[in-house]
Structure 1
């Protein structure tokens, strides 16, 4: 962010979150915050003073040294991350098995019911298709044979 697009509300939020030290702010907002604090010091004086007093109180608290065995027990008792699986979800076994079984049964039934055709039947079917589409003189032959 630059100094021209940081708002007063954002600077107040930074002061409340990170304290009075501008060096503790996020890197991309430090320069903008410094520029706005320099440009309008009276606007943020109360918030900066309150943050300074809180910073001093927090610095006065002694550092807590956690014993190594307590730290180890805490880490061991923490929930373990779930192991990553190769696939996130799996189909039940019966779905692919059912698909393969139905495909096999359909192919078997189709092959056992299919009839072979003779060349004469193929010629008759071809003449019928041509006559239906109007590409042959088959319909004229019918007219000639029709009783008058």
Structure 2
């Protein structure tokens, strides 16, 4: 048993020998008996064990009331605005959907589209379509 191992066991398991690993318990106790200067480390671990074993403090009703009163009230961000926003979006969507047919350009026949596309190339579009003039 080494001093480092004893300190590691004390740090991990505390000062109570009942919590130490059973196979190392006798070795740790024997090492502590031979080295009384390590009892200060055991005392520190015993203090930490006592702090960790304290019951949870229960706050008084007055403290609970003060804490709850100091908290801000919950804010409703949307409230009545959410249904109105949904209705506006629905109206705009339906209006744009129905008006979409009137906004788009009129359909042209295929021949005039080809004529417009190949006019700048200097080709005769009728020849390209394979028709006789």
TM (norm. structure 1) is 0.35
For normalisation by structure 2, the TM-score amounts to 0.38
